[in-house]
Chain A
Amino acid sequence: MKSIKETIAKVLFTAAAGISILAVALICIFLFASGLPAIGEIGVLDFLGGTTWRPAADQYGILPMIIGSVYATIGALIIGIPIGLFAAVYLSRFASPRVKRILTPGVELLAGIPSVIYGFFGLVVLVPLIREVFNVQGMSLLAASIILGIMILPTIITVARNAIDAVPDSYYEGALALGADHERSVFRVLVPAATSGIMAGVVLGVGRAIGETMAVVMIAGNQAVIPDSILDGVRTLTTNIVLEMGYAADLHREALIATAVVLFVFVLIINIVFAVLNGRSKR
């Protein structure tokens, strides 16, 4: 009697754990089955290396979007890494416990604000500002990079801070005992010791930036052309999907799903890098 109940429970728990395997399998099957034939039909080189995206003329080159995603992510990192790392150092080793108690929920709130609000803020504040200052249209790679930089800030701060917190106090005390001052002890001893954890935060930030859609689509201008300057409009892999999926059909639709496949592969690579770094920092 008892053992039947136990067996049923065990089967249920195991099945629940299997859901995530099932989900990943289904996602792979459905994305690849719908996307890969299109890549085959368009041709791998023409698809990945083509610089012209013109569905009306059956031209499906996504190189501008790949480069757009890479540029926007790099831009986000240029803003997010220095501010995020220094802010993490502050929260870990400079702030008093009281200040920490106030600021930590603030950083969490920054992470909790929905993408559409960041996008809208970018649209009504940042884009007009760029338009005024540089006398250009405003929707641009620059706008997208700044908003993405803000959006990955809490990710980098939280992960980097945890990594610095995890370095044993004896490292810091040892540095002080050798005559280093507070800043030197933190930046020459603690931060290097936390490098792989900090890198994990950066990689997580890359994942967030490259996958962000709704904030970017509102402010990036969305021209499917490789930008010449940071003030030009840009279209990323994610926004390419959201812009055209609503009305696309046939090969055009499959090409958009294939765009998601490319994005998915990027993200898988990022995940693997993150897992390796994370494993190293835990050791």
Chain B
Amino acid sequence: MSDTAKATVAAPRKPHRKTSSIILNALVHLAIFLTVAVLLIVVGYILIMGIPNLRPELFAFEYNSDNVSMFPSLVDTLLAVLLTLVIAVPLGVMAAIFLVEYTTRGNKFVKIVRLTAETLAGIPSIVYGLFGMLFFVVFLGWGLSLLAGCLTLAIMVLPTVMRTTEEALRAVPDSYREGSFGLGAGRLRTVLSVVLPPAMPGILGGIILSIGRIVGESAALIFTAGSVASIPDSVFGSVRTMSVHMYVLASEGLHIDATYATAVVLLVIVLLINALASFVAKRLTRNEE
């Protein structure tokens, strides 16, 4: 009480700093320090322990329990990313176009679409995995397969693609659309030739985000795509992506060196995807300015 009174009366040029402010200031800096420290420790530890263990036989063409090669898993991961994107991106982009360009306010169908997309975004990956197993693997009879895994992943990343595309489309000024309509173009033509091109960087950002999620996913794949460490002959073959490979190695606990090395490769892939994402985001904001 007297503290505040003194401060008001004396009206010092430099405001009197309360102890509570000093403590809060310290806590804020401590928190960001801890956050950065955790990131550096996790990334640094994996890199330091893993890089010396990167041996050529880890990249042998065929996997066996002696060389524990991650090469088939790398190819499987690439296949999973491509197939999932081929399914999810067109659907997600088209759904977003519908939400932004083809609807009026207060439409019931739109409300349900939004609600379900938000629900999808919150479902844990293990629940997706079980659903994929019940539906694609057992009910449709596809067995543990690349296709079952990728369709499961496609449903998982669908809300991400939808949301980012929607944001990108909404950021396109209405004057573009009005100009196009004014020149006599129909709705479809306006969307495809006028609205989509400026929204591309935003859509790309969503795709990169989805790639990161696909690469990192393991729980949804174990019961849908299985864990056979080989390159499949068809989409009905079982695959083992890098994250699943990493999990299998870590839980077997037999090849700790190879596990470190696998972790490094997985981490580097994630680092590259993140770098790409922030590069795209940077270009995006520059375009806006």
Q: Chain A: residues with CB nearer than 8 A to chain B?
A: 2, 5-6, 9-10, 12-14, 16-21, 23-24, 26-27, 30-31, 34, 82-87, 89-91, 94-95, 103-110, 112-121, 123-125, 150, 153, 157, 179, 181-184, 186-187, 207, 210-214, 217-218, 238, 241-242, 245-246, 256-257, 260, 263-264, 267-268, 270-271, 274-275
Contacts and interface: CB of A to CB of B under 8 A. Distances in A.
Interface in B178-227: 186-188, 212, 215-219, 222-223
Contacts of B218: 114-116, 214
29 contacts: A9-B188, A16-B90, A16-B91, A19-B158, A20-B117, A21-B112, A24-B119, A85-B31, A103-B32, A105-B274, A109-B274, A110-B35, A110-B38, A112-B273, A114-B243, A116-B243, A116-B250, A117-B263, A120-B259, A121-B46, A125-B45, A181-B15, A183-B22, A184-B18, A218-B250, A238-B126, A260-B126, A267-B124, A271-B118
B155 interface: yes
B134 A34 contact: yes
A214 B248 CA distance: 11
A135 B220 CA distance: 35
B201 to A, nearest CB: 17
A123 B267 CA distance: 17
A272 to B, nearest CB: 9
B250 A119 contact: yes
Which 8 pairs of residues, A with B, have the shortest CB-CB distance? A211-B124, A114-B216, A86-B31, A16-B94, A13-B98, A183-B21, A17-B95, A17-B98
Given A19-B95, A106-B36, A245-B130, 18 more contacts: A5-B186, A18-B113, A19-B158, A24-B116, A24-B119, A90-B32, A95-B32, A108-B274, A108-B277, A112-B270, A114-B266, A115-B218, A210-B124, A213-B219, A238-B219, A246-B222, A257-B130, A264-B127
Interface in B129-173: 130-131, 133-135, 139, 155, 158-159, 162
B119 to A, nearest CB: 5
A103 B36 contact: yes
B254 interface: no
A183 B91 contact: no
A106 B246 CA distance: 23
A260 B158 contact: no
Contacts, number: 249
Of the candidates A107, A112, A270, the one having the most CB atoms from chain B within 10 angstroms of its own CB is: A112
A24 B251 CA distance: 32
Given A19-B91, A21-B113, A125-B45, A27 B162 contact: no
B270 A114 contact: yes
Given A20-B120, A20-B162, A242-B222, A183 B24 contact: yes
Contacts of B243: 114-116, 214
Interface string B20-32: 1110110111111
Given A119-B250, A121-B42, A270-B122, A6 B186 contact: yes
B38 A20 contact: no
Contacts of A104: 278
A113 B131 contact: no
Given A119-B250, A257-B134, A238 B277 contact: no
B34 interface: yes
